[in-house]
């Protein structure tokens, strides 16, 4: 156990943990403060709130590939610091306009586009930085503990947002995320990389994005796992996050019951990060594929109208599966993708995994209207469970082993040969 937590002795790792936690705290506060701000502005309405939140999400999806290319072109820490500064200044401007009475929903929508772009540029760099600080067996421990610190920041931010909005008001609350982003950028200055990933400064950004696609598709298991996750996320978003509250209102007692379910999920995420420190399967990608079968546990019990305590327990277990899955997949990508392309591969993973989630959310209601809520939940759960065994039919998914991240020592020619060989198979 002591060896698993030895990575905490690395000051750069601790600085990265602190920066990501503070940044996630700000990210958790922002949508809550923004929602109540928009609703109380002249011309504000639920429809305008949807426009503002959608603007941020669409901006993230639009710019994530560019973010991956930039992070592979420039030093990753500089990219993260720059993105945090941009997010902090954008959020600060939004807060200033709200407090001084000059904000409108459309102005906030425009600033949300800028904030979404900053997040899109930050994420690929942040997900590919850890291999520059630690390697070998310590990498999974570091990823697990990073996930734990990020979950903690997100949970604390959501709780803090409610308190701040009710006490000092939504406008002043928007100042807090601005401060957290700026603090995150300062904390990142304390991160000192032990090895530098090769960068690609020659090709244009569009060329780098195309090259990133080739790298993403070079290993079959990479794009297969991302396709599986995209499929699972669409079904899970519609069933759990859309139809779940419907079932809570219908048979569990309403908003209080749904809050209990979400608290169980948050605790499960934290426990899952701790479990991921010790869970070291020899074939991590195969294990990750099978873990998706646990994602819909709560969906099944909601469909059966089980008691609240049973649904909360199932949600807790499903959250553990989700967090362990994320750590295993991230670590496998970090160890098997060459560092000069890792940010771009991570950006394609992000885009593929979540770009279709709005379709799942939008389609859940019509499907439930057509077949009934319980039948829709049963169907979504069954389709998610089948996804695990389906991808294991492919040998490339079954046979990825836990290898050391030794791309730093590999020559470009050797890597090109590997990609060519993979393409043949």
pLDDT above 50 for 407: no
pLDDT above 80 for 194: no
pLDDT above 50 for 418: no
pLDDT above 80 for 222: yes
Average pLDDT over residues 341-364: 81
Burial of 402 (0-12, 13-18, 19+ CB in 10 A): buried
Sequence spans of domains, the chain: 1-189, 205-425
What's the pTM value of the predicted model, to 2 decimals? 0.75
pLDDT top residue among 102 and 48: 102
pLDDT above 90 for 89: yes
pLDDT top residue among 348 and 362: 348
Name the DSSP class of 405: -
Average pLDDT over residues 113-137: 84
- How high does pLDDT run on average in the chain? 82
**To which residue do tokens 């941020």 refer?**
56
pLDDT above 90 for 96: yes
Q: Do domains 1-189 and 205-425 have the same CATH topology?
A: yes
* Domain 205-425 is found in CATH 1.20.1250.20: yes
CATH architecture for the domain at 1-189: Up-down Bundle (1.20)
What letters, b where the CB count within 10 A reaches 16 and e where it falls short, cover 168-204? ebbbebbbbbbebbbbbbebbeebeeeeebeebeeee
Task: Output the pLDDT for position 397.
Answer: 84
Task: Output the pLDDT for position 419.
Answer: 39
Average pLDDT over residues 313-329: 92
Poorest-pLDDT segment among 22-26, 133-137, 318-322, 419-423: 419-423
Burial of 259 (0-12, 13-18, 19+ CB in 10 A): exposed
């Amino acid at each position: 156990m002591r060896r698993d937590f030895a990575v905490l002795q690395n000051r750069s790792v601790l600085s990265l943990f602190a920066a990501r936690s503070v940044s996630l705290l700000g990210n958790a506060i922002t949508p809550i403060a923004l929602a109540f701000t928009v609703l109380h502005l002249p011309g504000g309405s639920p429809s305008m709130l949807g426009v503002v939140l959608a603007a941020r999400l669409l901006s993230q999806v639009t710019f994530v590939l560019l973010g991956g290319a930039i992070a592979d072109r420039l030093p990753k820490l500089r990219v993260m610091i720059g993105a945090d500064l941009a997010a902090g200044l954008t959020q600060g401007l939004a807060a200033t306009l709200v407090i001084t009475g000059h904000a409108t929903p459309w102005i906030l929508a425009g600033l949300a586009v800028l904030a979404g772009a900053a997040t899109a540029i930050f994420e690929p760099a942040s997900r590919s930085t850890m291999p520059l600080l630690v390697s070998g067996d310590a990498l999974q421990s570091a990823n697990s503990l990073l996930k734990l610190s990020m979950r903690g920041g997100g949970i604390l931010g959501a709780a803090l947002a409610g308190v701040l909005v009710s006490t000092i008001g939504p406008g002043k609350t928007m100042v807090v995320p601005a401060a957290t982003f700026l603090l995150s950028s300062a904390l990142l200055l304390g991160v000192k990389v032990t090895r530098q990933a090769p960068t690609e400064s020659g090709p244009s950004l569009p060329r780098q994005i195309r090259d990133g696609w080739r790298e993403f598709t070079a290993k079959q298991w990479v794009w297969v796992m991302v396709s599986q996750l995209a499929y699972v996320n669409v079904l899970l978003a519609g069933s759990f996050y859309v139809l779940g509250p419907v079932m809570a209102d219908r048979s569990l007692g309403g908003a209080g019951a749904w809050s209990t379910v979400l608290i169980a999920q948050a605790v499960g995420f934290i426990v899952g990060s701790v479990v991921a420190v010790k869970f070291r399967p020899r074939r991590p990608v195969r294990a990750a594929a099978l873990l998706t079968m646990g994602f819909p546990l709560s969906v099944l019990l909601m469909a059966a109208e089980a008691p609240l305590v049973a649904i909360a327990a199932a949600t807790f277990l499903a959250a553990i599966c989700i967090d362990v899955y994320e750590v295993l997949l991230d670590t496998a990508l970090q160890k098997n993708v060459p560092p000069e392309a890792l940010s771009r591969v991570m950006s394609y993973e992000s885009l593929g995994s979540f770009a279709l989630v709005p379709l799942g959310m939008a389609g859940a209601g019509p499907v439930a209207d057509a077949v009934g809520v319980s039948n829709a939940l049963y169907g979504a759960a069954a389709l998610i469970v089948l996804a695990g065994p389906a991808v294991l039919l492919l040998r490339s998914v079954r046979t990825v082993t836990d290898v050391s991240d030794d791309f730093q020592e590999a020559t470009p020619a050797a890597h090109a040969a590997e990609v060519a060989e993979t393409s043949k198979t």
